[in-house]
């Protein structure tokens, strides 16, 4: 019986370690006071992220196995881990918006690209615009700059055409 429990714990640590390693970010939250219905709603709203409730001791071990440091202080009280595989900003916004509607959800902090984040830094991530919006703005800026460049290159050509036309008009007037 004890071997089965150890095996289960070892499997849980291995799965959590894999989740830590395969995620671009992980956000730790305290979910005390949330109902099962609310947690289900949160999981559905996360999109490209998974929301997992884990024992602190197992999650600490998994974080250490994944080479993540600076999270030990966050593993207190009932802890759930949001493993983000998609857009980090969208996941942070989802958590922030859910926490506003359900104050029982407390964002403790997290890790992004191997670096620890405080709860305030997770909130700052949520304030950023999504990757798609930033790419669209970049494309718009590049398009505008290309249009300006095209107009700049066309200007001397248009001026040369006007100069030639003026010279032809002047010749026409002199010969008449």
Residue 81 pLDDT level (bands cut at 50, 70, 90): very high
Q: Write the CA distances from 88 to 14, 110, 117, 125, 164, integer angstroms.
A: 23, 11, 13, 8, 58
pLDDT digits (tens, 9 = 90+) for 8-60: 888 888 898 898 888 888 899 998 888 889 888 888 877 778 888 889 999 99
Gap between the Cα atoms of 157 and 164, Å rounded: 11
Rounded distance between C-alpha atoms, residue 68 and residue 113, angstroms? 10
**Is 80 exceeded by the pLDDT of residue 171?**
no
- The answer as to CATH 3.30.365.10 being correct for domain 2-128 is no
Please state the pTM of the whole predicted model: 0.68
Is residue 47 within 8 A of residue 22, CB to CB? The reply is no
For the stretch 98-136, pLDDT in tens is 889 988 989 898 888 888 888 888 888 777 666 666 677
Per the listing, tokens 């992220």 go with: 49
């Amino acid at each position: 019986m004890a071997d089965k429990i150890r095996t289960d714990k070892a499997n849980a640590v291995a799965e959590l370690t894999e989740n830590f390693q395969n995620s671009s970010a992980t956000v730790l939250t305290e979910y005390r006071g949330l109902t099962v219905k609310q947690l289900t709603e949160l999981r559905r709203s996360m999109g490209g992220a998974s929301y997992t409730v884990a024992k602190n001791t197992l999650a600490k071990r998994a974080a250490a196995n994944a080479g993540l440091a600076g999270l030990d202080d966050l593993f207190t009280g009932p802890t759930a881990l949001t493993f983000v595989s998609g857009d980090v900003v969208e996941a942070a916004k989802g958590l922030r918006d859910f926490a506003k509607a359900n104050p029982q959800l407390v964002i403790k902090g997290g890790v992004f690209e191997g670096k620890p984040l405080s709860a305030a830094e997770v909130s700052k991530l949520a304030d950023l615009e999504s990757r798609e919006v930033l790419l669209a703005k970049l494309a718009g800026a590049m398009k505008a700059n290309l249009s300006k460049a095209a107009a700049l290159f066309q200007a001397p050509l248009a001026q040369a055409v006007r100069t030639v036309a003026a010279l032809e008009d002047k010749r026409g007037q002199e010969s008449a």
